[in-house]
């Protein structure tokens, strides 16, 4: 019997998150899937909840409305101005760019404004306050290892 997604289960998925207009915001493909233990915070709780009970091989597509708050609340303190000189290519307003933190973690930022001196970037998750689609394929579900 195949394990179902739930608390204490290690899950591997391929997924895509797309804005309502079809623009890709984030994805993980089967060659490099997102792997997590259900409930560990690796995936937004509202997205994780939609996986509950699914099994390896299952595919689903979910339309998420902005007012559901699945990704979280907007935080003004996550809007930063960065020197224009830090960008090798000219950024465009509404462009989603991956930024690498000192820890090595990559976070997405949405370009809000660009001038000759500065680029204003919103580091809130690009899906906060937006309608989007979550497509997922469950690659594996197994008991979480205890170390």
pLDDT for the residue 129: 85
Which of helix, strand or coil describes residue 41? coil
Q: Where are the domains of the chain?
A: 9-72+127-143, 76-122
Retrieve residue 102's tokens: 């000192």
Beta strands 59-64; 118-122: pairing state: unpaired
Residue 47's nearest CA partner among 139, 132, 142 is 132
Question: Does CATH number 1.20.1050.10 belong to domain 9-72+127-143?
Answer: no
What is the per-residue pLDDT for 106? Answer: 85
Phi/psi region, residue 71 (left: phi>0; alpha: psi -120 to 50; beta: rest), is alpha
Contact by Cβ (8 Å): 90, 113: no
What are the φ/ψ torsions at residue 13 (nearest 5 degrees)? Answer: -135, 155
CA-CA-CA-CA torsion for 48, 50, 53, 58, nearest 10 degrees? -100
CA distance 127 to 64: 10
Q: Where residue 147 falls among pLDDT bands split at 50, 70, 90?
A: low
Cα-Cα-Cα-Cα dihedral sign, residues 50, 126, 140, 135: positive
Distance CA 10, CA 60 (A): 18
- Given this structure, which CATH class describes domain 76-122? mainly beta
Beta carbons of 113 and 81 less than 8 angstroms apart? no
Q: For 84-136, what is each residue's pLDDT tens digit?
A: 999 999 899 988 888 888 898 888 899 999 999 999 999 998 788 889 999 99
Tell me the C-alpha distance between 132 and 127, whole Å: 7
Residue 64 pLDDT > 90:
yes
For residue 130, the model assigns a pLDDT of: 87
């Amino acid at each position: 019997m195949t394990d179902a997604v739930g608390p204490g289960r290690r899950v591997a998925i391929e997924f895509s998150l797309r804005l309502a207009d079809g623009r890709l915001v984030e994805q993980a493909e089967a060659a490099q899937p997102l792997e997590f233990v259900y409930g560990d915070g690796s995936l937004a709780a509202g997205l994780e909840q939609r996986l509950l009970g699914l099994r390896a091989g299952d595919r689903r597509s979910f339309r998420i409305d902005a007012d559901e708050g699945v990704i979280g609340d907007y935080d003004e303190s996550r809007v930063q101005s960065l020197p224009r000189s830090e960008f090798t290519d000219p950024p465009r307003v509404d462009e989603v760019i991956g930024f690498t933190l000192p820890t090595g973690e990559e976070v997405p930022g949405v370009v809000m404004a660009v001038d000759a001196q500065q680029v204003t970037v919103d580091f809130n998750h690009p899906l906060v306050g937006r309608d989007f689609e979550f497509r997922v394929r469950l690659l594996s579900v197994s008991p979480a290892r205890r170390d």
